[in-house]
Amino acid sequence: MKTVCVYCGSSGAVDPAFRDAATDLGKLLADAGMDLVYGGGRVGLMGLVADGVMANGGRVIGIIPEFLDKYEVGHTGLSELIVVDNMHTRKKLMMDRADAFVVLPGGFGTLEELFEVLTWKQLRLHDKPILLLDLPGTDGRGFWEPLTALLDHLIAEKFAKPEMAALWQIVTSLDGVLPAFSAAPPPTVAVETKWL
């Protein structure tokens, strides 16, 4: 795994445990010699992950749509900031440039990115590892527990096949990220879409 795409929230007014995890994940990736590709923002967990990588000598590629960059949320201190025309192009480039995906806590946008990358994997448009980093907040509960319960429910109700549970991995600590990458087979399927 050379380049890791991180999906996460753009809000900074969140549980301090998640803010710390974002910074620590950035350091972990940089120390492992992995590049970060992400949504290009300087705010929220997104900005903290990028800052964590950059502060530890790593390389960060941000990809941001022009309309968001105009709001001055683009991170200008990155190794590379790519400004694109729309959200679809952004997500496609992030997916193309990544060897694996890590999903930190986030909101609607994070869920949308997660479900797209899961769906594309289900459709065999890629076979890259997807890690849900299910870290506990200050309440001790894993952030992604309600989501994983919903995913289990979809399978139980036969809206997804049982083997779909292998599309993602749950990792409950930062210490589990690198071993999960090491255990995953290397990707072999290039992302191909007809709508871009």
Q: How confident is the prediction along the chain (196 residues), in pLDDT tens digits per residue?
A: 899 999 999 998 999 999 999 999 999 999 999 999 999 999 999 999 999 999 999 999 999 999 988 876 889 899 999 999 999 999 999 999 999 999 999 999 999 999 999 999 999 899 999 999 999 988 899 999 999 999 999 999 999 999 999 999 999 999 999 999 988 876 666 655 444 4
pLDDT at position 192 is: 55
pLDDT at position 100 is: 96
- Of 61, 72, 133, the residue nearest 104 (C-alpha): 133
pTM of the predicted structure, to 2 decimals: 0.92
pLDDT at position 86 is: 94
Tokens of 35: 């590049």
pLDDT at position 195 is: 42
3 state SS for the chain: CCEEEEECCCCCCCCHHHHHHHHHHHHHHHHCCCEEEECCECCHHHHHHHHHHHHCCCCEEEEEEHHHHHCCCECCCCCEEEEECCHHHHHHHHHHHCCEEEECCCCHHHHHHHHHHHHHHHCCCCCCCEEEECCECCCCCECCHHHHHHHHHHHHCCCCCHHHHHHCEEECCHHHHHHHHHHCCCCCCCCCCCCC
pLDDT at position 71 is: 77
Q: What domains, with CATH codes, occur in the chain?
A: 3-183 (3.40.50.450)
Name the phi and psi angles at 20, rounded to 5: -60, -40
pLDDT at position 1 is: 83
The residue type of 166 is: A
pLDDT at position 30 is: 98
